[in-house]
Copies of this chain bind each other. A is one copy, B any other.
Amino acid sequence: MEPAASRPVPSPLTAAAVEALSRLFGDRLRQDAESLTVWGRDWTRSFAVAPSAVVFPNSTDEVVTLVQAARAHGFALVPSGGRTGLSGGAVAPAGEVVVSFDRMNRILELDPAGQLLRCEAGAITQAIQEHAEQHGLFYPVDFASAGSSQIGGNVATNAGGIKVIRYGMTRDWVAGLKVVTGRGEVLDLGRGLVKDNTGYDLRHLFIGSEGTLGLITEVTLRLTRQPAAQQVLVLGLSAFPVVMEVLHAFRQRLEVSAFEFFDAKALAKVLARTGLPAPFAADADTCPYYVLVEVEVSQDADAPLAVFEHCVEQGWVVDGVLSQSEEQARKLWRLREDISETISHWTPYKNDLAVRVARVPEFLAEVDAFVGRHYPDLEVVWFGHIGDGNLHLNILKPEDMPQADFYERCHGASKEIFTMIRRHGGSVSAEHGVGLLKKDYLGYSRSPEEIAYLRAIRTAFDPDGVLNPGKLV
């Protein structure tokens, strides 16, 4: 039997379908060209955007009725949050009905003793962070788009970010989910319980499911204490492999909140564009790589400096700087945070890769050698959340190369790089998910047996294939 997810999506909507949607949503159904364009896309720009309609539910009940209508009338649904996704998972390319959670944005309750926050799926991540802070608590998952992204989307894509090394992914903070499955059933999973060993944990299936098993309507998040003061170090490494020694030296003695890396090329471009001062005097030969380490200030006030000095004595670190104020810490963070925007000038071809932390040096050397050998005319910039084994490979487009030629050459490189990833047991999509962008490459990270189970699970939850068809698997 052909898996439900790959059946062709009927489009456009039948008259009966439009009638049903209109009865259900009234003026919260839109079909004008501008709304279709705005709500039919995410942050990617590589895919056609062509939804049939956009609807704005107010409640879980409305979502249930919507799914039932989709099954009855034969149309597909594309759930949409903050539209900040990077793999096309919330793009509607083929006449689907976009389900926007913009109106389901309320924070419902905060339980201080249980350290739980319950909210609708459309609540903005940053609003959640601020609400927690007002109550003396902390929601620790953070990333650049937090001011626009919605928690439902965060959960559906298992969003990561800059604090994963200390706090984990979104997955680690979900205490409960209310979902409407592709069958139109409401499941109340987890329910905020810390401990519940009553069978398979269905909650974790929905986390990272990219809208293919159900529509998330409500989320219960765990919160934690606000962190103590932090200090930031930027260190210049003598060579790349020593990065693991440096990571280990800091992690043994301190609570490491962030451990990011970038190469000398990235730094040079950021300094040129922003006018920020270099962290210390160095050239690309003696200092080919940099790490930014954020650590929690502890009882052991001398520890950051002591670890730094140890790394210098060992010959791992050439030089470095330790922030002495919040202002300085912020400036040092900009050296890392401004990289994406800086290199966007070169419309880079991006890969979001992960290998086990210990394999990072070997893997990076392999990819670097490969690109140097086969694409000597292309400039490569490396940076990323290296404490998690997550590397962002960016290939910069030469000024005079046509866009189409550039992407074709990079696609070819990707296949080789994914083959290396497979050999290292790594991930072809560390953070950004599969969506449309990585669908064809899933086999580089998942075995055929695993993919068969993904399909079986999808069919169980969405037998008619109404949820985000064509995405993920």
Contact of A197 with B450 at beta-carbon distance under 8 Å, contacts A114-B358, A251-B225, A357-B114 already known? no
The residue in chain B whose Cβ has the minimal distance to the Cβ of A198 is B445
Contact of A225 with B252 at beta-carbon distance under 8 Å, contacts A113-B244, A389-B194, A460-B453 already known? yes
Q: Are A429 and B225 in contact (CB under 8 A)?
A: no
The residue in chain B whose Cβ has the minimal distance to the Cβ of A472 is B199
Question: Which of A14-22, A285-293, A430-438 is the interface stretch?
Answer: A430-438
B residues in contact with A358, CB < 8 Å: 111, 113-114, 116
Q: Does A115 contact B (CB under 8 A)?
A: yes
Interface string of A426-470 (1 = CB under 8 A from B): 111111111000100010011101110110111011000000000
Q: Does A208 contact B (CB under 8 A)?
A: yes
Total interface residues on A, CB under 8 Å, equals 88
B residues in contact with A201, CB < 8 Å: 158, 171, 204-205, 207-208
The residue in chain B whose Cβ has the minimal distance to the Cβ of A137 is B252
| CB-CB contacts below 8 Å: A288-302 with B | 297-299
Contact of A427 with B116 at beta-carbon distance under 8 Å, contacts A187-B447, A251-B225 already known? no
Give the docked Cα–Cα distance between A416 and B114 (Å).
26
Q: Are A450 and B196 in contact (CB under 8 A)?
A: no
B residues in contact with A460, CB < 8 Å: 453, 456-457, 460
Q: Does A338 contact B (CB under 8 A)?
A: no
B residues in contact with A458, CB < 8 Å: 200
Q: Does A390 contact B (CB under 8 A)?
A: yes
Q: Are B169 and A195 in contact (CB under 8 A)?
A: yes
Q: Are B357 and A442 in contact (CB under 8 A)?
A: no
Stoichiometry, as copies per complex, reads 2
Give the docked Cα–Cα distance between A442 and B200 (Å).
12
B residues in contact with A157, CB < 8 Å: 197
Q: Does A172 contact B (CB under 8 A)?
A: yes
Give the docked Cα–Cα distance between A389 and B197 (Å).
13
Among B251, B431, B432, the residue within 8 A (CB) of A115 is B251
Q: Are A198 and B447 in contact (CB under 8 A)?
A: no
Q: Does A91 contact B (CB under 8 A)?
A: no
Q: Are B252 and A187 in contact (CB under 8 A)?
A: no
Contact of A198 with B228 at beta-carbon distance under 8 Å, contacts A113-B247, A355-B193 already known? no
Q: Does A356 contact B (CB under 8 A)?
A: yes
Q: Does A209 contact B (CB under 8 A)?
A: yes
Further contacts, 19 of them, CB under 8 A, given A114-B356, A164-B194, A195-B389: A111-B358, A113-B247, A158-B201, A165-B194, A168-B172, A172-B172, A187-B453, A193-B355, A193-B389, A193-B426, A195-B430, A196-B430, A197-B430, A197-B431, A197-B432, A202-B454, A204-B205, A298-B299, A457-B457
30 cross-chain CB contacts under 8 A: A113-B247, A113-B248, A115-B357, A158-B201, A165-B194, A171-B201, A172-B172, A186-B449, A191-B356, A193-B355, A193-B389, A195-B385, A195-B389, A195-B427, A196-B430, A197-B430, A197-B431, A198-B442, A198-B445, A199-B442, A200-B205, A200-B208, A200-B213, A200-B457, A201-B208, A204-B204, A225-B252, A298-B299, A453-B460, A453-B461
- Top 4 nearest A-B pairs (CB, nearest first) are A114-B357, A204-B204, A196-B427, A195-B430
